[in-house]
A and B are shown apart, each in its own frame.
Chain A
Amino acid sequence: DTVITASTWLPPTHAMSVAQKEWCDLLAKNTSGKMKCNILPRGVSNPPGTYDAIKNGLADLSFTVHGYTPGRFVTTQMAEFPFLGDSAESISVAFDRIGRKNPAILQEHQGVKVITLFTHGPGMVMTTKGPVTKMEDLQGQKWRVGGGIINDITKALGMNATLKPATDNYELLSSGVMDGTLLPAESMESFKIDKLIKNVTTFPGGLYNTSFVMMMNQGKYDKLTAEEKKAVDAISGEVAARIVGRQWDKFDRRALGLMQANGITHTKADAKFVADVKGKVAPLEQDWAKRAEAKGLKNGSKVLADFRAEIAKAAK
């Protein structure tokens, strides 16, 4: 029997931990229990160190956010741009497809076996104060943001944003140090800030996103028998992207339901607001294309366009 040591840096009830477990259970089912995961009680590393932890074999299976190790992943930032799509499942499936079509993207993941590339649901604006309906509302308040392209987005939008880990959300918002935060819907529950948030502003397709990778230690994969490799491959790629995307979507839906129950106002960005944001962030896409091409990606702008088309296709 083959045991895969799996690690998660999120609580066992979090969408990501649930999704990873679902993937493990599927693997066990498909191999009639010959392959199974041993999910460790605690993550083997803090979030930013997870990529290296898997690469170096500290655990065999886990997932991480590309933006946690700035400078290391450039091509994957395409999955973090605004207005990509409304469901994690379709974005994730498209992201994985594009990733496998363009070798430069998988090549950035040196030393690990990529199970799938994926994203969370649409990123939104959450505040403890009044609703955010226009650009000026974004510029007049203090925001917490995580890593990745979102840094550049807030800069382009002229927001007073501070980079703090997601786990600090509760402290920052409850104490009033920050007025708002940028997160996907499910985070309201997982970071226990649903009682603090007064207003949520959503954008069609999301204001931003976060790209993730689920991966296996390369040595562990190489040591599997041909049959075992086949079992892993069969549920890697699109299958895994769907599993994870669906869990994110499910948790997002639940959080949005909770939002209504808590009386949080839900503002939908109007056409002018969206157009204003689009105008400001457009240069970021060209900048990314240039940086991605330096990392070996061919014709970045076209890949981004393909990605958008693929998302639309997957959403059908």
Chain B
Amino acid sequence: MIEALIGFGAIFALALLRVPLAFAMGLVGFGGIWVTRGFDPALASTAQVVYETGFAYTLSVIPLFILMGNFVARAGLAHELFQAAYAFLGHVRGGLAHATVAACAGFGAICGSSIATAATMSKVAYPSMKKLGYSDSLSTGVMAAGGTLGIMIPPSTIMVIYGIITETSIGRLFAAGIIPGLLTAALLMLSIVLITRRDAEHAPPGVRATWPERWRALRGIWGVAVLVVVVLGGIYGGFFTATEGAGFGAAGAFLFALGRRRLTWKILYQVLVESARTTAMLFTLLIAATIFANFVNFTTMPGDLKDWITHLGLSPTMIIVAMMAIYVVLGTVMEELTMVLLTIPLFFPIVTSLGFDPVWFGVLIVMIVQIGLISPPVGMNLFVLNALLPGVGLGTIFRGCWPFVLVMILVLGLLVAFPQLSLWLPSLLKV
């Protein structure tokens, strides 16, 4: 137990010194195995983890989904999505905000990243909201919160990472995220109704679109629809595995971008290299997390922790609630990927030993990440919007996002209380 605790402490210390997390985890894991098993085993195990993670076929799902999202962002599909959502929702009070959430949900169905979703929306939705006189705090809050739908509605990078480190079916995780994602979208819209009722001045309704206009707008999103149907339909319909689906989706998105003449050689190169870089960054983390987990495996920590939890005498649900509370607090100050990679080796064995479904816990983790991404002071989505919209200060963004943080904590509570929200759909699908 004590060796593992020292290990965790050392990682935190190194991370605080601004050593990249991957290097901190890898180094501590290596040192830990050196101490517990010897120097040569530590070398051998490190080499093994490096080449095995590199040569792992199933992990190709990561770069392929990232690539798909990046192609889609370049193909300009987000614009059509927003137009379609606006045609249907624009005429109500706060119509643009509603349309933004709906467009985020749609975009989330083809992009696995929250930050990419928020960033894409800032280009599409913000100018319209600015023009109609929406307050900056409301519009950035909506984009930040809506963007997080990108990781709950499949595909989702964080679900893939969680699935890989916990050996949980990615197909089931994806299916599990659909209802929570739509529920979050619905509650975000409900909260927009409440907010704009109080501050109607800053969220005027738009013009009501005619039905022919609406149909035209709907026709504009056929590209998105085709991609979603092909990827998710293909995975759940028995056409291919999740890994293959990612490759199919990326190829489909590539063909779309090509067909819409959005691809020059230069853009193609940029998209590919950017996706490869994100992949390399993630794999360095995965490799390091595995080295560290191997070290923890040699310690008595997993068993000790289980015993300790059992002796606490708390009910299993209370333990989950306590975990979630810790996560929400940690999420305000920590970068979320760091938080998940550091805590999963600790929490996951407890959760499974309590008899909970790993898929359900995965959905809770995604929700936690969503909350963390928009909870000040350290929230990636907020920072990205701040960087992309130089005219809007961080303070304004912080003010706009907190109602949505509360809404998402409420959703988290619902997901904890009603596991069926996450588990019903995967139980229906043959995955």
Enumerate chain B residues within 8 angstroms of A49, measured Cβ to Cβ: 48, 52
Is there an interface contact between A175 and B241, defined as CB atoms closer than 8 Å? yes
Complex interface: chain A residues within 8 A of B297 (CB) = 40-42, 44
Inter-chain CB contacts under 8 Å: number: 75
Flag A11-52 by CB within 8 Å of B: 1 or 0 each. Answer: 000000000000000000000000000001110111011001
Q: Considering only CB atoms, which chain B residue lies closest to A163 in the complex? A: B57
- Asked if residues A56 and B241 are in contact (CB atoms below 8 Å), the reply is no
Whether B52 contacts A46 by the Cβ 8 Å rule is: yes
Do A58 and B241 have beta carbons less than 8 Å apart?
Answer: no
Q: B180 on the interface (CB 8 Å rule)? A: no
| A48 and chain B: residue at smallest CB distance | B52
Q: Could you say which of B21-29, B36-44, B409-417 contacts chain A?
A: B36-44
Is there a chain A Cβ closer than 8 Å to B356's Cβ? no
Q: Which residues of A contact B57 (CB under 8 A)?
A: 165
- Given A41-B302, A42-B297, A171-B171 in contact, is the A53-B238 Cβ separation under 8 Å? no
Check if A103 is an interface residue, CB within 8 A of chain B.
no
State whether A53 touches B302 (Cβ < 8 A).
no
Tell me whether A168 is interfacial, beta carbon within 8 Å. Answer: yes
Instruction: A172 to B58: give the CA distance in the assembly, Å.
Output: 13
Q: What are the residues of chain B within 8 A of A40 when measuring CB–CB?
A: 297-298
Q: How far is the CA of A85 from the CA of B82 in the complex (A)?
A: 65
Given A171-B171, A175-B171, are A56 and B44 also a contact pair (CB < 8 Å)? yes
Evaluate contact between B45 and A177: CB separation under 8 angstroms. no
C-alpha spacing A53/B48, complex, angstroms: 8
Main secondary structure of the interface of A (DSSP, over half): loop
* Contact indicator B430/A53 (Cβ below 8 Å): no
- Please give, as numbers and ranges, the residues of chain A lying within 8 Å of B349 by CB-CB distance: 41
**Whole-angstrom distance from the CB of B94 to the nearest CB of chain A?**
41
- B236 adjacent to A171 (CB under 8 Å): no
Interface check A57, CB cutoff 8 A = yes
In this complex, how many residues of chain B approach chain A with their Cβ under 8 Å: the count is 32
Q: Are A176 and B37 in touch, CB under 8 angstroms?
A: no
- Shortest CB distance B420–A (Å): 21
CA–CA, A236 to B268, complex, Å? 59
Task: Decide if B238 touches A57 in the complex (CB within 8 Å).
Answer: no
Whether, in the assembled complex, B347 has its beta carbon less than 8 Å from a beta carbon of chain A, the answer is no
Distance A314 CA – B226 CA, assembled complex (angstroms):
60
Residues of A within 8 A of B41 (CB): 56-58
Say whether B235 contacts A175, CB under 8 Å: yes
**Shortest distance from the beta carbon of A192 to any chain B beta carbon, whole Å:** 11
Contact A58 B171 (CB under 8 A): no
Pair B303/A52 contact, Cβ less than 8 Å: no
CA distance A45 to B53 in the complex (A): 11
Which residues of chain A come closer than 8 Å to B303, judged between CB atoms?
A: 41
Known A45-B52, A171-B169; judge A177-B44 contact (CB<8 A).
no
Asked whether, in the complex, the Cβ of B302 is within 8 Å of the Cβ of A57, the reply is no
Smallest beta-carbon distance A180→chain B, Å: 14
Given contacts A40-B298, A42-B297, contact A171 B52 (CB under 8 A): no
- A222 CB to closest chain B CB (Å) equals 14
Check A177/B239 contact, CB under 8 A, given A57-B37, A58-B45.
yes
Q: Identify the closest chain A residue to B43 (Cβ).
A: A56
A299 interface hit (Cβ, 8 Å): no
A174 interface residue, CB < 8 Å from B? Answer: yes
Can you show 10 pairs from A to B with CB atoms below 8 A apart?
A53-B44, A56-B44, A57-B38, A58-B33, A58-B37, A58-B44, A58-B48, A171-B242, A175-B171, A175-B431
List chain B positions with a Cβ less than 8 A from chain A: 33, 37-38, 40-41, 43-45, 48, 52, 57-58, 169, 171, 235-242, 244, 293-294, 297-298, 302-303, 349, 430-431
Residues of chain A at the chain B interface (Cβ within 8 Å): 5, 40-42, 44-46, 48-49, 52-53, 55-58, 165, 168, 171-172, 174-177
A-B pairs, top 3 by smallest CB distance, nearest first, are A176-B238, A56-B44, A175-B238
Given contacts A168-B241, A176-B238, A177-B239, 5 further A-B contacts (CB under 8 A): A44-B45, A57-B40, A58-B44, A168-B58, A175-B171
